[in-house]
Amino acid sequence: MKLGRLNHVGVATPSIEKSVAIYRDLLGATKIHEPFDLPPQGVRVCFVDTPNSQVELLEPLGESSPIAKFLEKNPQGGQHHVCFEVPDIDSAKAEMEAKGARVLGEPRIGAHGTPVIFVHPKDMGGVLVELMETPKAPH
Ligand code: CO
């Protein structure tokens, strides 16, 4: 397996609208995408572009949202995960497991429309790591 580019940093927030204002007004972000719902993952998503990567703002969608739990512990929101690209998600999953890292669930379609997996923070030095198959066309 070869570590690919940092695709995005996932940030949980109680309000995408308020977080967008922070990135736009405090940090000067100019390319902010339209928010959209991702029901299979229980999140509403909004991407903020930076010159070399993206911030993925995540707001809870529905009662059983994994983000809701995170926000109980961190009511203001906070950094939730980092996402690296890999060439092939199935071989990345197999390799993670062969090396003893816990993969959370099966590959599923992520916010960029390509398959993703999450690797347990306990096997990643305390960081929840998302691995995503590199999109065929640049986002
Ligand atoms: Co993500």
List Cβ neighbours of 26 (8 Å cut-off, separation of 6 or more): none
Ligand 1 midpoint to CA 118 (Å): 9
- pLDDT tens, residue order, the chain (139 aa): 889 999 999 999 999 999 999 999 999 999 999 999 998 889 999 999 999 999 999 999 988 898 998 999 999 999 999 999 999 999 999 999 999 999 999 999 988 899 999 999 999 999 999 999 998 765 5
**In-domain check, residue 109:** yes
**In-domain check, residue 77:** yes
**In-domain check, residue 1:** no
**In-domain check, residue 139:** no
List Cβ neighbours of 2 (8 Å cut-off, separation of 6 or more): 86, 87
Domain count across the chain: 1
Ligand 1 midpoint to CA 56 (Å): 6
What does the alpha-carbon distance between residue 76 and residue 118 come to, in Å, rounded to a whole number? 23
**In-domain check, residue 93:** yes
Residues labelled catalytic: 130
Identify the CATH number of the domain in which residue 58 sits: 3.10.180.10
Ligand 1 midpoint to CA 83 (Å): 6
Query: Which domain covers residue 105, as residue numbers?
Result: 6-133
What strands, in cross-sheet order, belong to the sheet with 129-133? 36-38, 43-49, 54-60, 6-12, 78-86, 129-133, 115-119, 103-109
What does the alpha-carbon distance between residue 34 and residue 23 come to, in Å, rounded to a whole number? 14
Ligand 1 midpoint to CA 25 (Å): 23
Whether the model clears a pTM of 0.85, i.e. scores above it, the answer is yes
Provide the 10 A C-beta neighbour count for residue 78.
12
**In-domain check, residue 138:** no
